[in-house]
Structure 1
């Protein structure tokens, strides 16, 4: 009896665990819906940082109590390379509740390098140069203190290189006094006035520092409405800081200097509906899988007979690939995965490019119109779909990224399965940072990011890491593409399939070191963690 009750207890525990797991999978937490339409503007993030302590120094005697739920979410300028402890080593819990792993890239990369000090020095030098290239005075935090008599624009003032504008919004609010004075100074241009007002004295007109004074406040304010700024130092994109003061009161604001972005417009040839052939080009890379490639092409032609397919081919002995609306580009043998992506995408002339693997298969659920629709109606730059295996299981491969500052050794990149929120008007679509290897993107935006040709055999997340902060990425689970079956008996594999497996799944030490170098040196990371 005792043995039977023990078995029953174990059976009940296992059944309960499986029931809870199924409930977790079947009834996920309700997604937050956020509108990311073309008219939406991003929310301004307010961060409390150590460098802002000077603005609070006058109130050091005022006591305060930290709100733990908020303060622990703040960035403190450091990061830790730490993963989850592997307490449970059973297959089912690992699938349902994946463990977070962490890789200390400092150790992984530097310990095998003969000159780690030299590597660190070169990386620091490259990072300093990167900071110089990417820094803009517009990034500087400027706080306009309350009760200041100065009125000035805090943002939104722009001038084209070497051009002149009137600075809007200047004013002075003071009680009557014998003389009212203001001063302005800039570093990348000159100040002047478009008109003069009787009773106002002007000094330094046409120079980088100018003063205005008057005994009548209304006259001075009228003169301030004609103050001009002329840019004299060419730069395609930067900002000039204007120092503005009156007596003991000082303020600062920025004027953005830069060219207006030239639009890139695409003529789809129709005003009704979406002409997919005019809007979308399909791009792929093939290697040792001509049978899969032909099946993929045939599946495309079943639903989209006139869409152009661009193929990058790095086979040693290219075979014929014939048919209408196909452009194939032969590469050096074994040039690699990302090099092929670069080549294929570089030849796309349509507004959008659809990336597919050469063993994907179009189905009735592969609705390119849906992908075009969300790209046309939102600010997304790239939208992924779902890949359906022969078993019927569909994967979307949605991930989010976060980067913690880590000091001189580099930053920490944290990759997690999941997404941010759903998209209003598109209930099957969410926003994420990385998606599956079936996606449609704005061609010009994806070309700006590019694919690292050093990654020859493996690589996917590396592209999305490079795109972080540049591409707005989404994923739609209702646009699906099929995947050719990978279930093949070993003795029935063709020689080309065996050769492909040797190339695809072998991973040498040099390739592993290259992949680590991409993250450590190129992306200046000291740690990665992922689940």
Structure 2
């Protein structure tokens, strides 16, 4: 009898040890904290800039003559606000002889207000550039090992505009004549200045040849070679062939408009004004009691933050109160359509998405979300949801797309994250988060919510955003979830009606409809997940 008790005790102790090891494995993190601060200039970039400058200065003692017809088209890094004078002052003359008007946009601001606006605008613009710059934008010049020297990346031109091509050069052994040629398909070549002793053939055309008996003069002339885009496309790449005797190199010139920044006033650095920075968005259907609980909880901690409500009830009940905007939709329009509507009305830098049956507590610290988004390159950061049972979930997912065949690709989803974020020990980088998140408003609009998902859907938004959304998750920003546990005989008529809509088996609501959506829209043939 004692031996059996000992065996049982040993089994219990061993079980507790195994559980403890399992919990330690789940909670401990062996990944490295990665710095997601907006990108700053590195030593490599400074070295490349210095080397390019030394290359340009190598032949600066050789004289040149400006070619005004070409040099005048180059960007001067200083646009001027100038219009045209109205030549004919007659009624309706502007219809026959339209002229260019110019308007100074800073005129409405004066004195200290203008200086304040310029300061915060400069700060926001600086952060925007740091967040959006990529290593592929850096100008890199391949040294003349071939013997051609040319830019491998980083050359950009606006559509239908002209730019100097930096870094062109030739390093060859002594010969009677040195010659190079350039060929493009979306633009033409010319020279902004002419160097004595250099012959230029094909100026203003897609193929141009330069030759000289003096290598130094040819290299000096190559410093003035221009490229003009002649085929309009808002985002294209021209492939340029750069040739000399027996050698050929290829480089690209990116053609496109710059991304227009959308800047907001973040307020003092250590004093985030949540009301000016964040709008709370939600979608409601038949759960006005839950919605009111959410509003009351928000007002307890954030009395002046705007709440935008998308409502697709058949008989809408108008929600009143300060800083509340309610938008009525067609009856039963759906979950993702409501998200689109709510986000479309947000005018602040960030939008916080929250379900209508959530409620704020002292742990729902929106300032932490703002701090993470202001300090990193993340576009969206999720929090945690605490159930009435006390269980808290973050629901993080990693996603990857494996290239397939003509039938489509494979989407793989796994629970988990990639690594933690330096400076924010409770935050990690992932691909999808729980249904409580704060994001840059413009990035959410860029991805959008598929309105075909009427009552069921969440991860689909992050699948559509894969490749464009940089996602994080912080488990120390927590929102609470109202209880869903209801005994059948305690349900109200409204709750029963809601359940019929939420959990019915119509094709639009069914989970079985999502595979066809993935297959047709996203070109996936397979989905794996855990």
TM-score normalized with structure 2 length: 0.78
Measure how far apart 1:8 and its partner are. Answer: 5.5
Q: Is the 8 A contact 1:181 1:246 kept in 2?
A: yes
Contact 2:141 2:149 in 1 (8 A): no
Residues 224-263 of structure 1, C-alpha deviations (whole Å, 9 max, x = no match): 0111111111111111111001111000101111112221
Query: 2:144, 2:170 within 8 Å by CA — same for their partners in 1?
Result: no
Residue 514 of structure 1, CA deviation: 2.9
8 A contact 2:162–2:228 mirrored in 1: yes
Q: Which of 219, 222, 226 is 1:221 aligned to?
A: 219
Contact 1:144 1:251 in 2 (8 A): no
Other-structure match for 1:33: 33
Structure 2: gaps of 5 or more residues: 45-135
Residue matched to 1:103? none
CA distance in 1, matches of 2:216, 2:303: 71
Structure 1 range deviating more: 516-525 or 258-267: 258-267
**1:517 maps to what in 2?**
516
SS of aligned partner of 2:153: coil
User: Aligned runs of 1:153-302 on 2, under 5 Å?
Assistant: 153-267=151-265, 273-302=271-300
SS of alignment partner, residue 193 of structure 2? coil
The residue aligned with 1:23 is: 24
Name the CA shift for 1:387/1:513 in 2 (closer, same or farther; >3 Å). closer
Q: Residues of 2 paired with 1:16 and 1:146: CA distance? A: 65
Check conservation: 2:401, 2:411, Cα contact below 8 A: yes
Q: CA offset at residue 357 of structure 1?
A: 0.2
Specify which structure has the bigger relative contact order, considering alpha-carbon pairs within 8 angstroms and separated by 6 or more residues.
Answer: 1
CA distance in 1, matches of 2:476, 2:511: 35
Between Structure 1 and Structure 2, how many residues are aligned?
434
Determine if contact 1:454/1:514 at 8 Å carries over to the other structure.
no
Query: Structure 2 CA distance, aligned partners of 1:477 and 1:293?
Result: 24
Residues 99-114 of structure 1 correspond to what in structure 2 (within 5 A)? none
Q: CA distance change for structure 1 residues 319 and 389 in 2, over 3 Å: closer, same or farther?
A: same
Give 1:267 deviation, angstroms.
Answer: 3.2
What SS does the corresponding residue of 2:152 show, helix, strand or coil? coil
| Structure 1: distance between partners of 2:194 and 2:266 | 52
Q: 1:202 to 1:145 in 2, by over 3 A?
A: closer
1:113-124 equivalences in 2 (<5 Å): none
Residue of structure 2 in register with 1:494 after alignment: 492
CA RMSD of aligned residues (A): 2.4
TM-score by length of 1: 0.78
SS in 2 for 1:349: coil
CA distance in 2, matches of 1:23, 1:426: 21
Q: Deviations over 1:441-490 (max 9, x none)?
A: 11111001000000001000000000001111111111111111223332
**Structure 1 unaligned regions, length at least 5:** 45-137
SS of residue paired to 1:405: strand
Alignment CA distance shift 1:292-1:278 (3 Å): same
Tell me how far apart the structure 1 counterparts of residues 367 and 16 of structure 2 sit (CA, whole Å): 44
Deviation of 1:506 (Å): 2.6
Helix, strand or coil: the match of 1:153? strand
Q: Of 342, 353, 359, which aligns to 1:361?
A: 359
